[in-house]
């Protein structure tokens, strides 16, 4: 692609954010980042991989933080260090080349740059079914639909709290994104097509008449 393209994808749990992002990146021939942040944060912080995996994209339990604003009002804990390092990584990655970034409040972190911000959602019932279908045979034996529904709701709550805590912006609000896509209606491939068409037709620029 001739022009630099940065795509950020926010997502409800089970709406297919990882798959949409990865397929979009493959089609556009650009880099893709999602779980890759875990290994990169491990290298930056020195923390164990499992610790980083369990503590990223979560808001702390205490009240004041200015990590995303670049102001440190307190000595960050190990938990805070993960968030701060991922913030820096996102800025560095976006400065280097075209990419698709899933989650981590990337749309807000890169709000001062030209990027296409996407939010993916779907009805709860469909997301529960989708996550159940992705389980291995052994995992499926130990997970009922009711249990999975609790997992999906908890993950949504976690992501909402993380996003709104660090950005002071409503998670999933239409004013925060360029496109909101119902993946139950569009499907994974359909969502990729919609995003790609948007990028190729407008490249994130305003199409409103003067």
pLDDT digits (tens, 9 = 90+) for 32-77: 999 888 888 888 777 888 888 877 787 766 544 445 555 454 555 5
> Is residue 136 situated within a structural domain?
yes
Does 160 map to a domain? yes
Domain assignment present for residue 68? The answer is: yes
Asked whether residue 34 is assigned to any structural domain, the reply reads yes
The tally of CA atoms less than 13 A away on the side-chain side of residue 116 is 26
Query: Beta partners for 110?
Result: none
Answer for the pair 181, 118: CB distance below 8 angstroms, yes or no.
yes
- What tens digit of pLDDT does each residue of 112-147 get? 988 999 999 999 999 999 999 999 998 888 899 999
Task: Compute the distance between CA of residue 91 and CA of residue 111 in angstroms, rounded to an integer.
Answer: 11
pTM higher than the cut 0.95 = no
Alpha helices in the chain (DSSP H): 17-28, 36-45, 49-55, 78-96, 106-109, 124-133, 137-141, 145-167, 183-202
Residue range(s) defining the domain that contains residue 63: 6-203
64 is a domain residue: yes
Count how many domains the chain has. Answer: 1
Query: Is residue 210 in a domain?
Result: no
Name 96's Cβ contacts closer than 8 Å, sequence gap at least 6.
none
Angstrom distance (rounded) from CA 89 to CA 40: 8
Is 208 among the domain residues?
A: no
More confident residue, 110 or 81: 110
Distance CA 176, CA 27 (A): 25
Has residue 102 been placed in a domain? yes
Q: What is the CATH number of the domain that holds 38?
A: 3.40.50.300
């Amino acid at each position: 692609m001739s022009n630099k393209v940065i795509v950020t994808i926010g997502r409800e749990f089970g709406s297919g954010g990882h798959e949409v992002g990865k397929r979009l990146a493959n089609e556009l021939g650009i880099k893709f980042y999602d779980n890759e942040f875990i290994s990169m944060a491990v290298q930056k912080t020195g923390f164990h991989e499992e610790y980083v995996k369990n503590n990223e994209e979560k808001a702390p339990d205490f009240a004041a933080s200015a990590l995303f604003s670049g102001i440190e009002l307190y000595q960050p804990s190990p938990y805070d260090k993960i968030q701060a390092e991922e913030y820096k990584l996102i800025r560095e990655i976006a400065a280097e080349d075209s990419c698709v970034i899933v989650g981590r409040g990337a749309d807000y972190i890169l709000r001062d740059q030209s990027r296409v911000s996407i939010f993916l959602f779907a009805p709860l019932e469909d997301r529960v079914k989708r996550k159940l279908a992705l389980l291995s045979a052994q995992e499926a034996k130990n997970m009922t639909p009711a249990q999975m529904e609790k997992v999906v709701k908890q993950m949504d709550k976690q992501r909402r709290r993380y996003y709104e805590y660090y950005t002071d912006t409503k998670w999933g609000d239409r004013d925060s994104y360029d496109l909101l896509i119902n993946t139950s209606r569009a499907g994974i491939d359909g969502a990729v097509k919609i995003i790609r068409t948007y990028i190729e037709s407008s490249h994130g620029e305003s199409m409103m008449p003067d």
